Amino acid sequence: MRPDALPPAHLDDPDPRRYRAGVSTEGDDDPPPTEKTASERITIEELEALMAAAVDEDGNDIRLAEATARMTPEERRQSDENIRAWAAEVQSSLRKKHAKPPGV
């Protein structure tokens, strides 16, 4: 995942450990969602339209770009630091996952 493809919530969180592969661990104790009736469900066409409205022609998240543009230099520095820490954690996890056991 490209760092610029991280969810916008990541920009506001000073602790990158709360995110695993771009998914927040916050609210894990929330009850599961109830099944929606057919009339409450979103259609594929509606989902496609919402997704298309959220990205630009290059596939970048428009909301992320807007949030980044509003950042102060200090907020941007902290965000960059969070992204680097998150990426280092992911790389370390992948190395451990794919490492060969001793003696193999």
- Determine the Cα angle at 50 with ends 46 and 53, to 5°: 140
> Which pair of structure tokens corresponds to residue 98?
């794919």
Q: What is the pLDDT of residues 35-88, one digit of tens each?
A: 777 667 889 999 999 988 999 889 899 999 999 999 999 999 999 999 999 999
Q: 16, 96 in Cβ contact below 8 A?
A: no
Helix (H) or strand (E) holding 20: strand 19-20
Put simply, whether the predicted model's pTM sits higher than 0.85 gets the answer no
Domain ranges, ordered by start, for the chain: 3-18+41-96
